[in-house]
Amino acid sequence: MEQCEHHEHHQHPASMAHDHTEVSSSAHHHDHQAHHAHMVSDFRKRFWISLVLTVPILLLSPMIQSFLGLGESLHFLGDKYVLWFFSSVVFFYGGWPFLNGIAAELKALKPGMMTLIAVAITTAYVYSSAVVFGLRGTGFFWELATLIDIMLLGHWIEMKSVMGASRALEELAKLMPSTAHKIISDGQIQDIVIEKLVSGDRILIRPGEKVPADGIVVDGLSAVNESMLTGESKPISKKSGMKVIGGAINGEGSLTVEVKKTGKESYLNQVIELVRQAQESKSKTQDLANRAAVILTFIAIAGGTITLAAWLILSNQSFDYAIERAVTVMVITCPHALGLAVPLVVAVSTAIAATNGLLIRDRAAFERSRNIDAIIFDKTGTLTQGKFGVTDTISFDSSVSKDDILNFAAAVETNSEHPIAKGVVASATAKKFVSDFKAIPGKGAEGRVEGKKVSVVSPGYLRENKIQIPTAQSEIEKLFSQGKTVIYVLFDENLVGAIALADIIRPESKEAVARLKNQGIKCMMLTGDNKLVAKWVADEICLDEYFAEVLPHQKAEKIKEVQSRGLTVAMTGDGVNDAPALAQSDVGIAVGAGTDVAIETADIVLVRSNPKDVAAIIGLAKATYKKMIQNLWWATGYNAFAIPLAAGVLYKFGIVLSPAIGAVLMSLSTVIVAINAKALKLE
């Protein structure tokens, strides 16, 4: 065993009795996919129509004619009115989402992105129209048209990005088949739509088909692929009495399943609903982004006004030039990228988490998890498997191998329902058969295996029969000091070996603890077991501290005790008897929830019983926050850099940003923010 750092232990003067209480919840379903799809379609249509109309606007604009060297070749009587007509169509049709948006924002007293765009394009349109009908100056309809085109394109890209981020949820929803093979009373098979399935129905799932509903296998044997649902990469063997999840893919065998959950109660629908709730739940980082957007809104309006006044008062430039500067400032300051910075990261992170069996119920708690100082694990079922298994086999006779000791003992224990016997049988490497089996009341069992009389007995049997342990006394004492259960094996009344059993430590536990400690997180354990067992588990996986002999109602007190040290604490348990501790902790993480995803007291629900997922969700929280901050810095930093350029501070050096170029740069920042969010990955 590798050496671990020093850890502390704490003991309560009572042993824990597990109290399993099932907690469930029902979720409300909200479907925004159709609305998003309509908006994507609307922006796409407006963009293409406006772009087509922009072509004659460009060709009829004197500045573009001059730039292209067309001179007077496209000039004709009334051309400025034709230019005004096309521009008016682009303004009212292409600009409608922004004109409609400003009304909604001002009505809600929340000026923002739409307000900025609407003010900018309205200012440009009204001024240019006035020029057409007699005001002295130069109109810039081409800038107006290209500005609207680019804004429509930016919004179309944004909506597509948001839709794309939720694609994982759409893929989850598509996992469900449309029909099921229902077994009716006379044994006949009837194909029905899955909406008509009810709890208690029996269905046939053929090889290669998708499971249509959550249920229990009543007949058949197969391996089922649940990777898209739980993140578990290996197919899971299923036999009678085991659960199957709707949406999983059946392997080579046929299964008869009794339906238990359908519709909104099903695992898949609960996952989709939890992810939607998480995407819509309030985020502190989102609040920061919203406050920044409001500030930028006022900066834009004030900046545009000051820019207009400064150019008119402090320079000899024309009014139309001053208006152009003011419009450019308003466009550049628009918090378009800022509005996308956080929501897109939220959508991407929750979708990534869901497809890996990491379900976020509370976004604020998920964000807090990046600051965790200490994590407290429940032992049984979290760090350990919650069932007996063989940890050590010792041979007292050089002519008898450890494998023989274990395999012969397993043969004798085959017919026993005792947890220790089951643990021995499960750990055997070869199957042997027993005859003349006989139980030794309170002491063990015996029988004949391959001609030998094999006895599997307790330490009390050895004491009663005055049988001495020939060698390895210190090894046996060490096993007892670790709180392990030790049984002895006799061949023909001769003591040949010993088998030690304990609640098996999950193979992933040590790696999970190492990962968390590498992140600077203290790892602790709560258990109702005695201090010998607790010390053995803590030593094996290198925990910093452990609390032994803690009753269920005392777990929350232990969380408070650790919090009183000034540490941000996460509690990780099975979500059943750990409910008070999960609620008391700063972040409650329920592990091994399986198909029972609606655990009220947990902030985060991990589907698999894998402690490494705890490290994964904390790593994802840190990566998500990092992406949010990167996006916020890009959006606001971009504005801080671009606003002075838009106002014309570098005019003397020949650097001037037109409204259209400003819109290009602003849309570019939006695209960069979207790409950065999409780059988020689960380590």
**Residue-level pLDDT at 118:** 83
Q: How does residue 24 score in pLDDT terms, banded at 50, 70 and 90?
A: very low
Model confidence band, residue 658 (pLDDT cutoffs 50, 70, 90): low
68-77, 162-171, 572-581, 674-683: least confidently modelled range: 162-171
Q: Which residues pair with 454 in a beta bridge?
A: 447, 491
What pTM value is reported for the model?
Answer: 0.67
* H helical segments located in 61-132: 62-68, 79-89, 96-107, 113-132
* Tokens 């001002």 sit on residue: 106
pLDDT score of 18: 35
Question: DSSP class of residue 605?
Answer: E
If one compares 206 and 657, the residue with the highest pLDDT of the two is: 206
For the chain, the helix, strand and coil percentages under 3-state DSSP, each to the nearest 5: 50, 20, 30
Q: What pLDDT does residue 375 have?
A: 96
Integer Cα distance of 561 and 99 in angstroms? 57
Mean pLDDT of 541-552: 89
Q: What is the mean pLDDT of residues 672-677?
A: 87
Greater pLDDT, 251 or 664 = 251
For the cut 70, the answer to whether the pLDDT of residue 35 exceeds it is no
Of the residues 149, 201, 378, 529, only one is catalytic, namely 378
The beta-carbon contacts of 4-7 under 8 Å, at least 24 apart in sequence, are: 4/538, 4/539, 4/541, 4/542, 4/543, 5/542, 5/544, 7/538, 7/539, 7/542, 7/543, 7/544, 7/545, 7/546
What's the rounded mean pLDDT across residues 525-529? Answer: 86
pLDDT for res 150: 78
Which pLDDT belongs to residue 530? 84
Q: Which domains does the chain have, with CATH numbers?
A: 33-167+278-348+627-678 (no CATH), 176-209+214-261 (2.70.150.10), 385-505 (3.40.1110.10)
DSSP state of 553: G
Lowest model confidence (mean pLDDT) among 221-235, 242-256, 505-519:
221-235
Looking at residue 137, its pLDDT comes to: 62
pLDDT exceeds cutoff 60 at 162: no
Amino acid at 301: I
pLDDT at 126: 87
pLDDT attached to residue 515 = 94
Q: Are 434 and 412 in contact (CB under 8 A)?
A: yes
Q: What is the pLDDT of residues 365-393, one digit of tens each?
A: 888 899 999 999 988 878 988 788 899 99
Rg, the chain, Cα only = 35
The per-residue b/e assignment along 246-265, b for 16 or more CB within 10 angstroms, e otherwise, is bbbbbbebebbbbbbbbeeb
Which two tokens mark 359? Answer: 């379900």
Mean pLDDT taken over the chain:
81
- Give the tens place of pLDDT for each residue, 55-77: 999 888 877 777 777 766 677 88
Region of poorest pLDDT, from 93-97, 164-168, 315-319, 591-595: 164-168
Which pLDDT does position 22 carry in this prediction? 31
Q: Which residue has the higher pLDDT, 554 or 545?
A: 545
User: What pLDDT digit, counting tens, does each position of 505-518 carry?
Assistant: 998 999 999 999 99
Residue 19: its pLDDT value, please?
A: 35
- C-alpha distance from residue 492 to each of 411, 495, 497, 536 (Å): 15, 8, 13, 34
Residue 305 or 1, more confident: 305
CA neighbor of 126 nearest in space, from 309, 405, 326: 326
CA dihedral 360→362→366→369, nearest 10 degrees, is -120
Coil, strand or helix at 362: coil
* Low-confidence winner among 20-29, 212-221, 524-533, 632-641 (lowest mean pLDDT): 20-29
DSSP string, 153-208: HHHHHHHHHHHHHTHHHHHHHHTS-SEEEEE-TTS-EEEEEGGG--TT-EEEE-TT
Cα angle at 201 between 199 and 205, to 5 degrees? 115
Cα–Cα distance for residue pair 310/306, rounded to 1 Å: 6
The pLDDT score that the predictor gives to residue 29 is 34
What DSSP string runs through 111-123?
--HHHHHHHHHHH
The tokens of 282 are what?
Answer: 């309030």
Answer whether residue 128 shows pLDDT above 80.
yes
* Residue 20 pLDDT greater than 50, yes or no: no
- The percentage of residues in the chain with a pLDDT greater than 90, rounded to a whole number, is 31
Which is higher by pLDDT, 459 or 600? 459
Dihedral of CA 401/405/410/411: which sign? positive
Q: Which residue has the tokens 């129209």?
A: 129
What's the rounded mean pLDDT across residues 321-331?
Answer: 79
- Could you give the percent of the chain with pLDDT greater than 70? 81
Angstrom distance (rounded) from CA 647 to CA 315: 13
Nearest Cα neighbor of 561 from 524, 600, 528 is 524
With CA atoms as reference, report the closest residue to 427 among 409, 400, 442, 441.
409
Which pLDDT value is given to residue 3? Answer: 57
Question: What pLDDT sits at residue 60?
Answer: 86
CA distance 162 to 279: 11
pLDDT tens digit sequence for 601-638:
678 888 888 899 999 999 999 999 999 889 888 877 77
Residue 499 is predicted with a pLDDT of: 95
Range 673-681 average pLDDT: 88
Interval 417-422 mean pLDDT: 81
Whether the per-residue pLDDT at 2 is higher than 60: the answer is: no
Known catalytic membership, residue 578: no
pLDDT at 23: 30
Q: How many CB atoms within 10 Å of residue 134?
A: 6
* pLDDT above 50: residue 235: yes
> What is the pLDDT averaged over residues 458-471?
86
- Over residues 534-540, the mean pLDDT reads 92
**334-366 pLDDT, tens per residue?**
656 666 777 778 778 888 888 888 888 778 888
Whether 547 shows a pLDDT value over 80: the answer reads yes
